[in-house]
Structure 1
């Protein structure tokens, strides 16, 4: 599999490669806003490259460039899609540490850094060692299971599980494993 070109985030004048695609959730909720181009690239399946920045305690979209042709020409669509620049739609945790590797690894000797964002507003930077992160994830999972957010996840799995093969216990295991990507609100 070809490694994908990653979006970036600037925080305190340092650029980080993101392992999550912050804008994809927005396009899932508002598919009519996603531009359609007839070109694809094995290193850029999503079709665009985004650059974010935490500036003045806001998550801003500096660039959103869309792939337009086979020669890798790009078209800037940031002002067209996000004219306000602030990415108010996003809430969640953005991981920025150097320990994540290619697959979001969590080595036992790692220090894990997350930026907490709520409705496009920077709340705080959270730093964990391995055991602190595991405890945080476990607590987040417990709160997530009793939150209103959980029904959206279950609904997604119900819609995509017509044969009833995937059971709720299995879905909960997936949520626990990926809790940092599922949460939009930090509970603890």
Structure 2
């Protein structure tokens, strides 16, 4: 699996990469799970969620993706009646926010290592603890800073004119 595009999180006034997919837990619990189109190897889940933490509460505030029928997905696709934000009460787990320079690129999932990881422990949508893990110091001043995907393959969208074949 190719390294994956991170979710987006607004945390303490900053926009950061979130290497955790809380919406997957919602889908696993039986929540509405539309069929997303996955047209690139760096986005197997087919969408990117936008999140924010306000007063230690995790909210889903946006969703970008395309459904298999070619229509754009939005927050209302999964949560009708909640077009602006949804409290992530279904999520309990740890959110990983990589920080600093990249120490090692791993071409799989969220496996790359950075100088630090900030972990947010969440219980039923509420941040209950934070901790920082120090992973080392980059040997090169030129090492990439911040999370980004190093490579991906984009698949062409199927054309309706050719019977759905790409």
Normalised by the length of structure 2, the TM-score is 0.60
- 1:90-109 deviation digits (Å, cap 9, x = unpaired): 111111132585543456xx
Tell me, yes or no, if the aligned pair for 2:117 and 2:132 is still in contact at 8 Å: yes
- 1:26-75 deviation digits (Å, cap 9, x = unpaired): 21221x610135x431243212210111112100001123314798x633
| Residue 3 of structure 1: how far off its partner (Å) | 4.7
Residue of structure 2 in register with 1:149 after alignment: none
Tell me, yes or no, if the aligned pair for 1:111 and 1:129 is still in contact at 8 Å: yes
Greater RCO (Cα-Cα under 8 Å, separation 6 or more): 2
Is the strand fraction higher in 1 or 2? Answer: 2
Secondary structure, aligned partner of 2:99: coil
Residue of structure 2 in register with 1:146 after alignment: none
Distance 2:89 2:53 in 1: 12
Distance 2:117 2:27 in 1: 28
Tell me, yes or no, if the aligned pair for 1:99 and 1:106 is still in contact at 8 Å: no
Normalised by the length of structure 1, the TM-score is 0.54
Residue of structure 1 in register with 2:94 after alignment: 93
Residue of structure 1 in register with 2:122 after alignment: 117
Distance 2:19 2:78 in 1: 25
Residue of structure 2 in register with 1:28 after alignment: 28
For structure 1, list consecutive stretches of 5 or more residues without a partner in the other structure: 132-188
Residue of structure 1 in register with 2:146 after alignment: none
Match of 1:76 among 54, 74, 77: 74
Q: Aligned-pair RMSD on alpha carbons?
A: 3.1
Is the helix fraction higher in 1 or 2? Answer: 1
Residue of structure 2 in register with 1:17 after alignment: 17
Number of residues of Structure 1 aligned to a counterpart in Structure 2: 126
1:44 is aligned to 2:43: yes
